[in-house]
Structure 1
Amino acid sequence: MEKPSRRSGGSVTIQDVARTAGVSAMTVSRVVNGGANVRQSTRDSVLAAIERLNYSPNSAARSLAAGEAAQIGLLYANPSMAYLSNFLIGALEGARKVGCHLVLEPCEGDGPDEQAEAARRFASTPVQG
């Protein structure tokens, strides 16, 4: 297996696949996204490089490239520090695995009015990455 680029922090990048297949990153992108205008022999070469390097597209990067921000909103109401610590660690790990940003908003009360207000605050807050 070829070494990934140093800039990627150990992850295989689209540039690594392109270099291995002898094509441009745009061609790799077309193959990964099922685009047209790629010769079958080139497509086969890119797919072989993807398999050899065990490449997996970065969903966060794909969202950014598409102009979308993949986000998960989380409202929480339990103020217990032990609960909150374990809950947030699990939520952060889960969001990271799927390439999303986790956005938190505390819900100060248990009543439906307080929950609705927390949901409104969350929906109106733009996330900057």
Structure 2
Amino acid sequence: MFIEGHYMITKVFMYMIGHYDRYGNPFTQIVETGRTIFINKSPIEVLECSLRATGFTLDGAIESSKWILKMEKMVPIVANPFQEVVLFPTRSLKHEDNIWLNPYHIRRTSNINGKTLIIFSNHSSLYIPTR
């Protein structure tokens, strides 16, 4: 497994999941339409770095979403304003098991035994432990 040091969120991004290596260090699994990448940062750090590269901040993106949507929790984030990529969290931003999804690539969802099956644009799928 090769782990990269940085990542820029673009239109091919489908979802990302945070993990820990055997030493307890965070890393992120990023699934794109044609490949899977591992980054040696947490998902929040990936978002922060990607937004900073476009001249924005994660705090600013969160505050804007809260203000526009009149919501306080689980707000979607504009992760790349130039390519119009918006990500939705499956849980609160502070939860370690939060998964970030790009709705552009979601083709279908189904509830199966209290879990959600997501079918993506490239015909891959993902089960998430929420309805």
Tell me, yes or no, whether TM beats 0.5.
no
Looking at CA atoms only, which structure, 1 or 2, has the larger radius of gyration? 1
Decide which structure has greater helix share.
Answer: 1
Decide which structure has greater strand share.
Answer: 2
TM-score (norm 1): 0.31
